[in-house]
Amino acid sequence: MPYYRRAGNVPPKRHTQHRTPSGGLYYEELMGEEGFSSDSSLLYHAGVPSAIVDATPWELPDQSTTENRPLIPRHLKLHELTSADWKAVDAVRGRRLVLGNADVRISYVAAGEPSPLYRNAIGDECVYVESGTATVETVFGTLSAGQGDYVILPRATTHRWVPTGSEPVRLYAIEASSHIAPPKRYLSRYGQLLEHAPYCERDLHGPADPVVVEGTDVEVLVKHRGSRGITGTRYVYPTHPFDVVGWDGCLYPFTFNIADFEPITGRVHQPPPVHQVFEGNNFVICNFVPRKVDYHPLSVPVPYYHSNVDSDEVMFYCGGNYEARKGSGIGQGSISLHPGGHSHGPQPGAVERSLGVEFFDELAVMVDTFRPLELGEGGLASEDPGYAWTWSGRGPGS
């Protein structure tokens, strides 16, 4: 995080005695990144944060992936993954893996049931709220999440999702094997967001003050690394993990709404890096928001054809009308996967239709990865098999 925050009751000096009203000690926990060499926060617990009374395996939803072979662009219709029984689905155990590699995994869920307490010990999570509302209860305090919010959850943050509306909360979960942060070029050497960045600290919303919750023998599901890949453990804590009376530091969950992203435009078409919002190891996250488009008198507003020689491109279409994909069947809740090694660009007719257009009313979240993505079971279950042939109008055997 680029700035310091303090909440609740903390002592004036770190690593010193902090006493309860009855004279006992609170237990100080340092939650920090990169082995004491990067951002951290200090949390003060009423109970011992390391105490557990049971640990058993937790069987995760299907994490298997299938190679994108033959190498083709793909269209995935994520709304087809919505269960008819969505009110009984939670935002953690109900996730369907869509795409993934060793650096990042993309899942989708439409949920109506409060999730169990959960902790991702593999990496940070960036969860985009396509629609619906939820409260995200965390060990730091609560976050309110609604349509258009990115919810950033640092690695090992204990939290749970509580849907709050009458409709499902639809979540596009980007799970890293690393940390997720603003691009380095947006930051000063001390971590402040610079003037050329398309958002600033005022747009980042941290949790409310921590709320102490009482309880005994409380279960927490933990996703973590195993010798054979990703696995899970179910811990049982003697007291509730939400026992923090105060914390301070520069590491904590926060929300950022996509509507607060200020688009960077130019006389001619701007490349995808101007749309970047976050980055992780070997991947970036960008968003394409409603904006004035290229204003050179001979400009071509839609993207030129391009070959991502170093990356796979994943676009999640979550609002408006994406001009470059008209005529391909892509709509709200669609994903397009354009893999490295395949040149891609506008659908036939899109270039001509865009000439003279001054404004694009589109909303999309893009993930570019620098290692190939494979298809998860959710991706295989939601694929439109005709998408690869939409540029030519004919497919195999025709």
The pLDDT of residue 64: 95
Q: Alpha-carbon distance 280 to 32, whole Å?
A: 17
Give the amino acid at 233.
T
The pLDDT of residue 329: 83
Q: Are 40 and 250 in contact (CB under 8 A)?
A: yes
The pLDDT of residue 321: 77
Q: Alpha-carbon distance 180 to 153, whole Å?
A: 9
Regions of the chain with pLDDT less than 70: 1-2, 322-328, 398
Q: Alpha-carbon distance 397 to 394, whole Å?
A: 9
Q: Alpha-carbon distance 336 to 334, whole Å?
A: 7
pLDDT tens column, 61-110: 999 999 999 999 999 999 999 999 999 999 999 999 999 999 999 999 99
The pLDDT of residue 167: 96
The pLDDT of residue 228: 80
The pLDDT of residue 227: 79
The pLDDT of residue 76: 97
Q: Are 72 and 62 in contact (CB under 8 A)?
A: no
Q: Alpha-carbon distance 172 to 96, whole Å?
A: 10
Neighbours of 194 (CB within 10 A): 12
Residue 58 tokens read as: 């937790």
Counting Cβ atoms within 10 Å, is residue 23 exposed (0-12), middle (13-18) or buried (19+)? Answer: exposed
The pLDDT of residue 326: 62
